[in-house]
Copies of this chain bind each other. A is one copy, B any other.
Amino acid sequence: MAGNTFGQSLAVTTFGESHGPAIGCVIDGCPPGIPLAEDDFDHDLARRATGRTRHTSQRREEDRVEILSGVYQGLTTGTPIALLIRNTDARSKDYGAIAERFRPGHADFTYWRKYGHRDPRGGGRSSARETTVRVAAGVIAKRFLERQYGTRVRACLRQVGPIRAAQTDWDFVESTPLFWPEPSSLEQLEAFLDGLRKSGDSIGALVEVEAAPVPVGLGEPVYGKLDAELAAALMSINAVKAVEIGDGLAVVEQRGSQHRDQISRDGFASNHAGGILGGISSGQPVVARIALKPTSSILIPGNTLDVHGEPVEVVTKGRHDPCVGIRAIPIAEAMMALVLADQVLRHRAQNADVVDPGPVLASEGHDKAG
């Protein structure tokens, strides 16, 4: 399986460059009979789109998904679903000046050296533009999970630079284009971002993504573990430098007596594990966090080389996001939804005949068809 496909029973293959004719994806293995229309993608694509707030890139993406295959009379047919999005607002002139120099912190240098030939326009294949079709594919996975188990996959910002949200008000998250979970600190965040934009710099972010309810049993020992596949899927998102499951990095300072989630008839007493034990979902909410680096596309000049090995200075004047974590929210949701949906299919491939021996705990997801 070459590098642009992920998933096994539910497999997604994406294609396209930032400033080429189009981007798109093929979703193979999707169960038949799921209602799907082109409008269904609009909501999540809008959540990912630029230009919704002064804190994201002002490039106008009016993305419209065309369903090329796999849907008939409004229902999926079980054959590959191809989705196409034309690139309409690609201003190549923004990028012409940097075609011959390697922007620090970008993939310019590594693509150049790996392939010997690359499409430099807007980052080409390495642009976050590619994640648009992940979001589209994720819409289908979300729908499948919702129909099957009532699962909801959602994400929010947890931290931006020094500003950390202590609480999570999920209703509030969607009320602002920043996906910030804490009303009391929103103003502080906005002020911070305004200052940042004026400085021409960028900032990192921490994003939390959660799925609930989730059925028990998703994940395959030992390399197909649910957390291992989540780690790959989330780390594959542009700019991500760390993935945490449950308590994540904090476990370094925890004791066993503190970390283990004890079990009673009411269910688990806590969720330090993030809903995964031994690589298999426990029925608790699946919780992950990702750290996104500050984009290297900033107005502050930096030193680098050109393709001839000569020292040059580079400044990125294009329309970029000072905090790429904001627009990563629906991407993180999509990747978690796709991993979960794939694991649902793989789980029932092997274990469809297992008579669940119990005990069943309070928070588990249940198969609505079962």
Contact = CB atoms under 8 A, between A and B. Distances in A.
Interface residues of A, number: 166
B5 A68 contact: no
B5 A259 contact: no
A326 B97 CA distance: 50
B256 A223 contact: no
Contacts of A5: 1, 5, 11, 13, 28, 223
B33 A357 contact: no
Interface string A207-233: 000000000110111111101111111
B293 A254 contact: yes
Identical copies of this chain, number = 4
A80 B295 CA distance: 25
Contacts of A277: 105-107, 109-110
A355 B118 CA distance: 13
A108 B26 CA distance: 23
A77 B114 contact: no
Given A15-B26, A26-B26, A223-B233, 7 more contacts: A72-B119, A78-B114, A78-B115, A78-B117, A201-B257, A206-B249, A272-B293
Contacts of A263: 102, 104, 109, 303-305
Interface stretch (A44-52, A53-61, A174-182, A341-349): A341-349
Contacts of A353: 31, 33, 148, 369
